[in-house]
Amino acid sequence: MSQYVSRFAGTLAGPPRLRLPGGHRKPRRVAMLSVHTSPLHQPGTGDAGGMNVYIVELAKRLAAINIEVEIFTRATTGGLAPTVEMSPGVLVRHVDAGPYEGLAKEELPAQLCAFTHGVMQAWAHQRPGYYDLVHSHYWLSGHVGWLAAQRWGVPLVHAMHTMAKVKNAALAEGDTPEPAARVIGETQIVNAADRLIANTAEEADELVRFYDADPGNVAVVHPGVNLDRFRPADGRTAARDRLGLPQDAFIPLFAGRIQPLKAPDVLLRAAAELLDRDPSLRSRMIVPVVGGPSGSGLAKPEGLQKLAAKLGISDVVRFRPPVGQDRLADWFRAASVLVMPSYSESFGLVAVEAQAAGTPVVAASVGGLPVAVRDGSTGFLVQGHDPKDYATALHRFVADPALVRRMGDAAARHAQSFGWGTAASATADVYTAAMYEHRRRVRSHHG
């Protein structure tokens, strides 16, 4: 861990309380911005993924500690109510910006002006000082947040979630690089934000290394996991019964958006390799791929099906559309192991959810996954993306079926440290520090 992140290391396992001299307080109300993905959308569809879950869970837990949250998001269908109460203390505001349907994430920068206008209109109806702070998610929201925070005279806290320079440095073969406009946009937000929240120490490192972020403005807060929903519950046997899966099967699962970045093809190639090594597995292996095409994967939605056919494993692969969170928890419980061969992950929330449900993980050793997965204890981390290496890791579970249970039990224990309550209180501490410093700066400026 870098020296400049170490002062935030306390946020990893439960933050130390910040001791700020006089006049500090938590915000009463936060404007949260999520331009390109609605917290009301189902993860695994379109651009909805881990970030949706992050925003929903964080907002609920902040409300539970008396910080009201209003989430501004782009309206993607007609006839939506302008405001929807998602849960007590959490309001979703739908902003009209561009056509409802068929607008790709890449086309959204052109709608930021319209989105900002909608945010400003909502604010204009409130009394002065209505929002204490702006918390933006992803670079598109950061640009709106930058303007809103300046206009309202409040601090801006920003979470990148993913970064163009990091993605471009680890691009999947055939994937499209992130455009220069995004790199420039992210650099501007890093300079403008009062505080940057990173999911892991490595992400904090990358903000400093790639974007020249001020180390003193970067705080590490691990995302949480909904431990009420993702838990071992009644176990693998019952989950397999509910999903109609055979009890004795070896089931390596992929769950997530289907796009080159997430590398589901690596799992299919590893499965083919496993069958080459042990043909008897064909009658007792099922490889579920749960999720929908997204991002650059939309260009070839049938690509994975064609790959399965080419590899001669269509009989063992099961393609399933994205499912709700409760059903997803059952898929995690039913699986022998979750496979995450991603090229880049800011945290890898799915890995923690699967472990919380009692399932070990085989993952690429990238981004936040080495924090999410304890190598050799709750699963295996693989260097690189060679399917043979993934097949070797998976074969350890085939060769020793007791390993699934042993590592699964360790995984469920490990995931307990990732509760959302911890993440919310750490985030509230970041808010408090940002407000304190913002007020001090304003005072010295006027003084």
Distance CA 126, CA 9 (A): 38
Give the CA distances from residue 381 to residues 27, 166, 365, in Å, rounded to whole numbers and listed in that order. Answer: 39, 20, 5
Pairing mode, strands 68-74 and 317-320: unpaired
DSSP 8-state class, residue 250: B
Distance CA 18, CA 15 (A): 8
Distance CA 403, CA 396 (A): 8
The response to whether 17 counts as a known ligand-binding position is no
CA atoms within 13 A on the CB side of 171: 12
- Compute and round to an integer the Cα radius of gyration of the chain: 22
The response to whether 101 counts as a known ligand-binding position is no
Q: Facing residues of 398 across strands?
A: none
Instruction: Label residue 18 exposed, middle or buried (CB < 10 Å: 0-12, 13-18, 19+).
Output: middle
The response to whether 237 counts as a known ligand-binding position is no
Please give the full DSSP string across 25-80, using - where no structure is assigned.
Answer: ---SEEEEEESSS-TTSPTTSTT-SHHHHHHHHHHHHHHHTT-EEEEEEE--STT-
- Say if residues 151 and 134 touch (Cβ distance below 8 Å): no
The response to whether 162 counts as a known ligand-binding position is yes
The response to whether 359 counts as a known ligand-binding position is yes
The response to whether 198 counts as a known ligand-binding position is no
Distance CA 265, CA 58 (A): 32
Pairing mode, strands 68-74 and 133-137: unpaired
The response to whether 29 counts as a known ligand-binding position is no
The response to whether 333 counts as a known ligand-binding position is yes
Distance CA 350, CA 366 (A): 14
The response to whether 302 counts as a known ligand-binding position is no
Q: Provide CB contacts within 8 A for 384, sequence distance 6+.
A: 364
The response to whether 105 counts as a known ligand-binding position is yes
Neighbours of 442 (CB within 10 A): 12
The response to whether 42 counts as a known ligand-binding position is yes
Task: Please say whether the dihedral angle defined by the alpha carbons of residues 180, 103, 38 and 252, taken in this order, is positive or negative.
Answer: negative
The response to whether 47 counts as a known ligand-binding position is yes
The response to whether 76 counts as a known ligand-binding position is no
Give the CA distances from residue 394 to residues 58, 340, 365, 413, in Å, rounded to whole numbers and listed in that order. Answer: 34, 12, 15, 22
CA distance from start to end of the chain? 39
The response to whether 436 counts as a known ligand-binding position is no
Q: Which residues are annotated as a binding site for Mg(2+)?
A: 332-333, 335, 359
Q: Which residues are annotated as a binding site for 1D-myo-inositol 3-phosphate?
A: 36, 47-52, 105, 138, 162, 182
Q: Which residues are annotated as a binding site?
A: 36, 42-43, 47-52, 105, 138, 162, 182, 257, 262, 323, 332-333, 335, 345, 353, 359
Q: Which residues are annotated as a binding site for UDP-N-acetyl-alpha-D-glucosamine?
A: 42-43, 50, 257, 262, 323, 345, 353
